[in-house]
Structure 1
């Protein structure tokens, strides 16, 4: 192990673990955390829609499902001719499938009707032949204008028909699973921050205990006059948290709110798409966040951040000291976002979507200053190259990448990394030199 100690965890505001200002103040780009520059794919596999937040159909044990030889994923989508900045207002969940993990096909929208004015990110479970899709219902169903209320929804009743092709079928039943209680998780009317969140449900069954959990992104209520953040009101408004609910029976559609897993009160407002990778007896908790959601006095990036604990409930400590795991290069700070990590053999792979490339403005809002044609040109709107991550105790490092949309099938060996090829070449050179020195060469 490069660094094995899990010491250094700190209690959160109302969670067992917290991401502190002191920890986040150490965020900096390093060779181990900066992704290479990405370029557009030679062939856009799904050109008719913008594609962003993506998740894979998974088994209860967390492995990526293969159903009748198919990998299956779900993505938020919008028509490709829509200005990218408007896509969240019309987001629709679509299903994609692949027989080789490289060439993907569109199975169409998942739901004919769903809860909310539009649907945001979630997760999907394949359990004993049934498909469950967890998603965020954004906006009130009957409102005439767009609203931003958020509820966590589970849809059951899905099945996969692979006779003569691939089809995801219903009929689906949609169940409102969770809404904020106002005590552990902030309601929209309590929000004082720049962003309100109660979304991104992610299913997880603990392999150690068998307990079934649903993680989600939330905000922790900080009462006015609280001594949190030493009474600094500006910092208190940055109150992101990772919430959890537990299923008492393991039923994917039955949940009870539990205390937050981790919070970032005084540090960060938005801990998006929380998810866990279990490996080597440890729980690796990952979230995505933006540079603009860090509290005053802190500087971060659009990046994947991570934490590790020896128990699902914590205490969690930040990976690499600060929490930074993967970020974009300085000259392409918004090239990808919405990272999702999953185990593959001895590595952890990280997929994301290809966001705004060829743009190095100080903040992403500056993209709106460009012409609509330039905004369209600079938006990737597809999956980014998959990153390869070495995870060793409390340390991580990027060791390579695969192609756009490349998600290896179960048991598929990965090509040697550049570092591995260099090591082999040096070993071969050394062996040759030794043979020549000892007269073992035919030359």
Structure 2
């Protein structure tokens, strides 16, 4: 029997919601078309009734960290990968990308000034910060939010990102999926350099059918159409971007499948929490045209934000991971800031929550917001960033740097934390 470190997770809901600027935006003609509707798997209210923090899913306490870039806030991170999803190297260097903002801006205000920078390392442990690998003036969006990066065999790197807002409108919350290309090289002692910057293109916009537009949003929390993660299906070779969305349409009525087989009067307002995990299929080799498809998973009535979704395969198992905050769970539900996951036998399979509830990694109960933005890599490495925590003297601290890497074991429909590695550590 597993030793339980703490009883059912119970914390006061974080009084936090990102206010959406008033007004609407002019939506450009859609660059993609919708596929036929399918029966989308559901993460239901029944699934998330009982979260338990155990030694298998609770990260150890962080009471200090090494600041990888003292002049910058550093948060969401992702490594450069090869087309098949494995960790890439450039002339012996690992490369990882992260959202960054100057510390001239406040911790809470960093999101309005986010740009993507790269870091490089010979050993995957000791990191040096590089530059912004694209022309910020040509980049799409008022700022650039998280995504993924993939390297072709010829050295071309595709950087997928979220174009958030528009340059001439200030920091609004419109979100579009975008991409640019460039090349990287490592010569002598100069580390990684960037060349041959390509154009920036929009890959997809919310269609209002499968994926909620800004105009369709209800409730107080920011809507989602962001975090594109490149994925090549090993079973078919077909290529996709997976992203965070919300269920489309103006009708927010919950169906029985979203509630499950429980005797519950669903609190008012739960219908406004309608997060889903979206997918779009590449229709050309250049990865500039994508077709929106029905979501891989929906969480209507459960959670508003299924952030940074991504897939890891192991044998015949497909593991779909996402991250979520405590405050984005719907009324009547109480889940921790954590990494959540689902298991199926194919990309479009019937995803079921891992460990019964979906919880894979949670922060310790005594410091529930110490890390965030977990991403699972091949071989079970889990990277994240230091968020907000208490140091060894009990003082509240803001992070903004790489958190210790965890290692998890994936076995069928269960997971467990098996090791703690160095801050930001990755290996091929």
TM-score by length of 2: 0.84
Match status 1:289 vs 2:314: no
Equivalent of residue 188 in structure 1, options 188, 191, 214: 214
Q: Is the 8 A contact 2:78 2:97 kept in 1?
A: yes
RMSD over aligned CA atoms reads 2.0
Q: Is the 8 A contact 1:211 1:250 kept in 2?
A: no
Q: 1:247: which partner in 2?
A: 282
Equivalent of residue 36 in structure 1, options 47, 60, 83: 60
Equivalent of residue 91 in structure 2, options 60, 64, 68: 68
Q: Is the 8 A contact 1:222 1:239 kept in 2?
A: no
Match status 1:396 vs 2:419: no
Q: Is the 8 A contact 2:340 2:361 kept in 1?
A: yes
* Partner Cα distance (1:196, 1:277) in 2: 26
Equivalent of residue 224 in structure 1, options 248, 251, 260: 251
* Partner Cα distance (1:281, 1:234) in 2: 39
* Partner SS, residue 270 of structure 2: helix
The Cα offsets for residues 338-390 of structure 1, whole Å up to 9 and x where unpaired, read as: 0000122xxx110000110118xxxxxxxxxxxxxx8xx71111000000101
How many residue pairs align between the two structures? 377
Q: Is the 8 A contact 1:241 1:262 kept in 2?
A: yes
Match status 1:258 vs 2:293: yes
Equivalent of residue 126 in structure 2, options 93, 103, 128: 103
* Partner Cα distance (2:373, 2:252) in 1: 34
Q: Is the 8 A contact 2:254 2:301 kept in 1?
A: no
* Partner SS, residue 110 of structure 2: helix
Q: 2:7: which partner in 1?
A: none
TM-aligned CA distance change 1:83 to 1:318, over 3 Å: same
Q: CA deviation at 1:391?
A: 1.0
Q: 1:211: which partner in 2?
A: 238
Q: 2:77: which partner in 1?
A: 54
Q: CA deviation at 1:107?
A: 1.3
TM-aligned CA distance change 1:15 to 1:293, over 3 Å: farther
Match status 1:199 vs 2:218: no
Q: 1:147: which partner in 2?
A: 172
Equivalent of residue 387 in structure 2, options 355, 359, 363: 355
**Greater Rg over alpha carbons, structure:** 1
The Cα offsets for residues 366-420 of structure 1, whole Å up to 9 and x where unpaired, read as: xxxxxxxx8xx71111000000101111000111200112223x3xxxxxxxxxx
Match status 1:235 vs 2:270: yes
- 1:335-350 matches, cutoff 5 A: 335-344=370-379, 348-350=380-382
Q: CA deviation at 1:67?
A: 1.3
Q: Is the 8 A contact 2:404 2:425 kept in 1?
A: yes
Q: Is the 8 A contact 1:124 1:203 kept in 2?
A: yes
Unpaired segments ≥5 residues, structure 2: 3-36, 260-265
- 1:268-347 matches, cutoff 5 A: 268-344=303-379
The Cα offsets for residues 66-87 of structure 1, whole Å up to 9 and x where unpaired, read as: 1110101110001134321110
* Partner Cα distance (2:223, 2:358) in 1: 22
* Partner SS, residue 45 of structure 1: coil
Q: Is the 8 A contact 2:252 2:271 kept in 1?
A: no
Q: 2:21: which partner in 1?
A: none
Match status 1:127 vs 2:152: yes
Q: Is the 8 A contact 2:339 2:374 kept in 1?
A: yes
Q: Is the 8 A contact 2:90 2:185 kept in 1?
A: no
Moved over 6 A (4+): none
TM-aligned CA distance change 1:281 to 1:14, over 3 Å: closer
Q: Which has the higher helix share?
A: 1
* Partner Cα distance (1:206, 1:224) in 2: 33
TM-score by length of 1: 0.82
